[in-house]
DNA sequence: CTGTTAGCGCGTTCAC
DNA sequence: GTGAACGCGCTAACAG
């Protein structure tokens, strides 16, 4: 049916080994023969069987990418960027979408990537057990989205600094009642929500503003959740005049809730997000910008570099920690508090 | 290093064949022995080598998914949904991101999925040559996003009907100068932009409205492009009082352009989108809703069904064509034209 | 520079 | 119900 290496060998009048060497650019084949083999292979539409090749060589030329919620802008963008780097380097990408707890559990117990991939890029932060499972694969590991983890190369941002700049901006505008819509640390054991919250508390403290627990609500990192969280904040006895949302999607949800309550942004309530979502500019959202695609690209590159290195067993796993730059982008959803307040 | 089937066999006191049969649920193994083997395998953390298994059996239990721009909401959402179906059925997903022409060309000339996948789901419409290349793989094929293609099971929507409902809505509100922001058919050989445009022209004709080419602009299916397209429309000698954008992302770009020109939506200009993007509700966008995740789910299911069928060679490839439902969702970006017009 | 010889780890006959 | 042999298609080590 489809051509095998022996077909090419016979047609080119050489042995299978020579075909193998020629097609993979290994030394030890005359240019003349190489060209001849390439022509024959091309004409026969020959591609080496991945299974056979990897069985014999031990290499798969495949990267496993583990992500939660690919449909979410952030992860989709990171995945997109990482995939481009991998495929340009000749690697295929095996995708595992671990949005649901069942999918996640299934993945980590069965570990379908075992013997299937040369490396794993995780877009979520595996918890300690999961990390250990991944380490047991014995391949290079990388991860984006904060939180150092043993054995992982991690590419992320300074969540504290980002959140601080956002909250400080609100303080500088004169706000005193500043709410926060956070993301549950929940099943994802990542430090991001924690770090951003600490930054929030710290800036408030520096400004001499007492912390009011009624001004914090969980938005679960979704638009819908952000809307509900904002609604809860508005139900407080003294609602906030400004809100820091830990993601742009929650910020947009909050804006929607505000509109429903006939409150204007920023006249009645200021809103700051985090991420610089593709559509943040469309809605004029002030936000903390981070290089999202950049993190995918960088993590992918670091992983490939480890694959290229001759794997000296004495060298420690290069637990690099790369910090990508962030910056506060001022748009139209923040302003000084209204003298009358949001009521 | 990692356990092989012979390790399990030895530890369980049986032969490798029995382990193979037991673990894959094939008949011919006593329940007692099966349980014993499962326990041993579990304890050893044994997973069959994908390469060896697929080399021996010919099946890969892997689906190739080909997509453009995974970072775009639409494709990310379809991919997310499809992946869930595949992985729940025990299939892995090999992802190919064909956003750039180079990546696309590389994929179709090298066809890295050959002998690597049991089926292919394409989220883009391959041109005739590309379709032929995919057919040469000899595996079931499916595709989302419009356009029938020989040998493909396609899951899509009625683009004409959707666009008609959007434009008719504007006509019914009393608009006569109705612009359209379209997506270039460009390198993607899909019928969607063409179908939607025909619907636009047809509704205008039915309403006795002369077609003005100055009211059409290309937005390339991006937010940015939509913004530029709207800007061009506004520069017309007689700008539109309403705009139909062929995607929500372009519609949001258009809204942004309108805001920059100090025009209000819908008081000065009405806007209708297409897709019902996750954030359409946030910005109050009137749009034609289509089941995006649903298309991914359905296409994945149809593919799996073909895989399960005993592949009777006499039966024609089931070139199903599934139409998913659409509906116009009225929100806050459409209203009757202002008596004074947008100037 | 090239051909020959062995496996890689598993699924699949076929015997028993 | 179970085990022994064979081969899937390729790459690696060894000759020459």
- For residue range A97-120, list pLDDT tens digits in order: 998 888 888 888 878 888 899 999
Decide: helix, strand or coil at residue A23.
Answer: helix
Q: Is the CB of B93 under 7 A from strand C?
A: no
C1’ D12 / CA A115, Å: 19
- Which nucleotide's C1' sits nearest to the alpha carbon of A46? D9
Decide: helix, strand or coil at residue A37.
Answer: helix
Report how far residue A123's alpha carbon sits from residue A296's, in angstroms, rounded to the nearest whole number.
Answer: 9
Inter-chain residue contact B111 with A47, CB threshold 8 Å: yes
Burial class (CB in 10 A: 0-12, 13-18, 19+), A106: middle
Report how far residue A294's alpha carbon sits from residue A298's, in angstroms, rounded to the nearest whole number.
Answer: 6
Structure confidence at residue B340 (pLDDT): 63
Inter-chain residue contact A282 with B72, CB threshold 8 Å: no
In B, minimum Cα distance to A4 occurs at B115
Burial class (CB in 10 A: 0-12, 13-18, 19+), A144: buried
CATH 2.40.340.10 fits B62-157+293-310, yes or no: no
**Domain parsing of chain B, residue ranges:** 5-57, 62-157+293-310, 159-289
Phi, psi of A147 (to 5 degrees): 80, 105
Convert chain B into a string of H (helix), E (strand) and C (coil): CCCCHHHHHHHHCCCHHHHHHHHCCCCCCCHHHHHHHHHHHHHHCCCCCHHHHHHHHCCCCEEEEEECCCCCHHHHHHHHHHHHHHHHCCCEEEEEECCCHHHHHHHHHHCCCCCCCCEEEECCCCCHHHHHHHHCCCCCEEEECCCCCCCEEEEEECHHHHHHHHHHHHHHCCCCCEEEEECCCCCCCCCHHHHHHHHHHHHHHHCCCCCCHHHEEECCCCHHHHHHHHHHHHCCCCCCCEEEECCHHHHHHHHHHHHHCCCCCCCCCEEEEEECCCCCCCCCCEEEECCHHHHHHHHHHHHHHHHHCCCCCCCCCCCCEEEECCEEECCCCCCCCCCCCCC
Angle A279-A280-A281 from CA coordinates, rounded to 5°: 90
- B193-223 burial: b if 16+ Cβ within 10 Å, else e: bbbbbebbbebbeeeebeeeebbbbbbbbbb
C1’ D13 / CA A62, Å: 25
Report how far residue B270's alpha carbon sits from residue B263's, in angstroms, rounded to the nearest whole number.
Answer: 10
Report how far residue A285's alpha carbon sits from residue A331's, in angstroms, rounded to the nearest whole number.
Answer: 6
Smallest CA–CA separation between A208 and chain B, in Å?
35
Q: What is the pLDDT of residues A126-175, one digit of tens each?
A: 888 888 889 988 899 999 976 677 889 999 999 999 999 999 999 999 99
Yes or no: say if A223 and A151 are a contact pair by the CB < 8 Å rule.
no
Q: Which of A135, A282, A285 to mutate to test the interface with B (most CBs of B within 10 A)?
A: A282
Q: Which of B38, B89, B115, B134 to mutate to test the interface with A (most CBs of A within 10 A)?
A: B115
CB-proximal positions of chain C, under 7 Å: 1-5, 7-13
Q: Is the CB of B6 under 7 A from strand C?
A: yes
Report how far residue B48's alpha carbon sits from residue B37's, in angstroms, rounded to the nearest whole number.
Answer: 13
**Helix, strand, coil share of chain A (percent; to 5):** 45, 15, 40
Which is more confidently placed, A313 or A286?
A286
CB-proximal positions of chain D, under 7 Å: 1-5, 7-13
Footprint of strand D on the protein (CB under 7 A): A 4-6, 16-17, 19-20, 23-24, 26, 46, 48-49, 52-53, 55-57; B 13-18, 21, 27-30, 32-33, 52, 55-56
Q: For domain B159-289, give the CATH number.
A: 3.40.50.2300
Q: Which residues pair with B123 in a beta bridge?
A: none
Structure confidence at residue B341 (pLDDT): 53
C1’ C10 / CA B294, Å: 37
Report how far residue A317's alpha carbon sits from residue A311's, in angstroms, rounded to the nearest whole number.
Answer: 9
With both helix axes pointing from N to C terminus, report the angle between B248-260 and B223-234 in degrees, rounded to the nearest 10: 50
Fold match flag (B62-157+293-310 vs B159-289) = yes
C1’ D2 / CA B309, Å: 30
Yes or no: say if A230 and A258 are a contact pair by the CB < 8 Å rule.
yes
Distances (CA, A) of B75 to B71, B131, B252: 7, 19, 18
Distances (CA, A) of B173 to A34, A300, B105, B231, B337: 69, 51, 46, 23, 7
Q: Measuring CA to CA, which residue among B199, B183, B200 is closest to residue B242? A: B200
Which is more confidently placed, A184 or B29?
B29
Inter-chain residue contact B50 with A115, CB threshold 8 Å: yes
Average pLDDT over residues A38-64: 90
Interface contacts (A, B; CB < 8 Å) = 161
Q: Measuring CA to CA, which residue among B171, B196, B173, B170 is closest to residue B183? A: B196
Average pLDDT over residues A327-340: 92
Listing from the earlier edge strand, what are the strands of the sheet with B119-122?
A: A321-324, A152-157, A141-144, A119-122, A62-67, A92-97, B92-97, B62-67, B119-122, B141-144, B152-157, B321-324
Average pLDDT over residues A58-69: 91
Structure confidence at residue A75 (pLDDT): 93
Report how far residue A317's alpha carbon sits from residue A151's, in angstroms, rounded to the nearest whole number.
Answer: 6
The pTM assigned to this predicted structure is 0.90
pLDDT at A314 over 70: no
Structure confidence at residue A343 (pLDDT): 46
The H or E element spanning position A66 is: strand A62-67
Q: Which two tokens stand for residue B225?
A: 């492009």
The H or E element spanning position A88 is: helix A73-88
Residues of A in contact with B69 (CB under 8 A): 80
Peptide bond into B266 cis (omega under 30): yes
In A, minimum Cα distance to B4 occurs at A115
Report how far residue A107's alpha carbon sits from residue A116's, in angstroms, rounded to the nearest whole number.
Answer: 13
DSSP A204: H
Yes or no: say if B82 and B119 are a contact pair by the CB < 8 Å rule.
no
Q: What is the mean pLDDT of chain A?
A: 90
Report how far residue B295's alpha carbon sits from residue B287's, in angstroms, rounded to the nearest whole number.
Answer: 18
Q: Which residues pair with B156 in a beta bridge?
A: B323
Distances (CA, A) of B267 to A258, B240, B242: 21, 13, 10
Report how far residue B31's alpha carbon sits from residue B22's, in angstroms, rounded to the nearest whole number.
Answer: 9
Inter-chain residue contact B256 with A281, CB threshold 8 Å: yes
Low-confidence residues in chain B, pLDDT < 50: 313-314, 342-343
Distances (CA, A) of B58 to A162, A284, B115: 51, 54, 8
Q: Which residues pair with A155 in a beta bridge?
A: A144, A322
Inter-chain residue contact A136 with B83, CB threshold 8 Å: no
Q: Which two tokens stand for residue A327?
A: 């910056």
Sign for the pseudo-dihedral over CA of B3, B7, B9, B15? positive
Yes or no: say if B119 and B138 are a contact pair by the CB < 8 Å rule.
no
Report how far residue A18's alpha carbon sits from residue A11's, in angstroms, rounded to the nearest whole number.
Answer: 13
Structure confidence at residue B186 (pLDDT): 59
- Domain covering B5-57: architecture: Orthogonal Bundle (1.10)
């Amino acid at each position: 049916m489809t051509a095998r290496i022996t077909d090419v060998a016979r047609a080119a009048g050489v042995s299978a080994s020579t075909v193998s060497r020629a097609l993979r650019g290994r030394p030890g084949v005359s240019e003349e023969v190489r060209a001849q083999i390439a022509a024959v292979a091309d004409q026969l539409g020959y591609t080496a069987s991945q299974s056979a090749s990897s069985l014999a060589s031990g290499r798969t030329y495949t990267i496993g990418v583990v992500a939660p919620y690919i449909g979410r802008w952030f992860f989709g963008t990171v995945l997109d960027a990482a995939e481009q780097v991998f495929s340009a380097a000749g690697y295929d990408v095996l995708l595992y979408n671990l949005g649901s707890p069942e999918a996640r559990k299934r993945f980590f117990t069965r570990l379908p990537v075992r013997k299937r991939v040369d490396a794993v890029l995780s877009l979520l932060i595996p918890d300690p057990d999961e990390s250990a499972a991944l380490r047991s694969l014995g391949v290079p590991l990388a991860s984006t989205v904060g939180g150092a983890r043993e054995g992982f190369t991690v590419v992320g941002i300074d969540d504290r600094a980002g959140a601080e700049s956002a909250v400080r901006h609100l303080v500088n505008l004169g706000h005193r009642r500043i709410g926060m819509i956070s993301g549950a640390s929940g099943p994802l054991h990542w430090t991001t929500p924690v770090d951003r919250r600490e930054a929030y508390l710290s800036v408030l403290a520096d400004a001499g503003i007492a912390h009011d627990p009624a001004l914090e609500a969980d938005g679960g990192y979704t638009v819908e959740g952000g809307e509900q969280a904002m609604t809860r904040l508005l139900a407080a006895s003294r609602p906030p005049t400004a809100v820091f949302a830990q993601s742009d999607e929650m910020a947009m949800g909050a804006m929607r809730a505000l509109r429903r309550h006939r409150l204007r942004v920023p006249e009645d309530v200021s809103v700051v997000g985090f991420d610089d979502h593709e559509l943040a500019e469309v809605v004029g959202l002030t936000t903390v910008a981070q290089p999202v695609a950049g993190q995918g690209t960088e993590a992918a590159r670091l992983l490939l570099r480890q694959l290229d290195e001759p794997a000296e067993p004495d060298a420690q796993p290069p637990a690099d920690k790369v910090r990508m730059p962030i910056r506060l982008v001022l748009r139209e959803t923040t302003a000084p508090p209204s003298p009358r307040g949001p009521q």
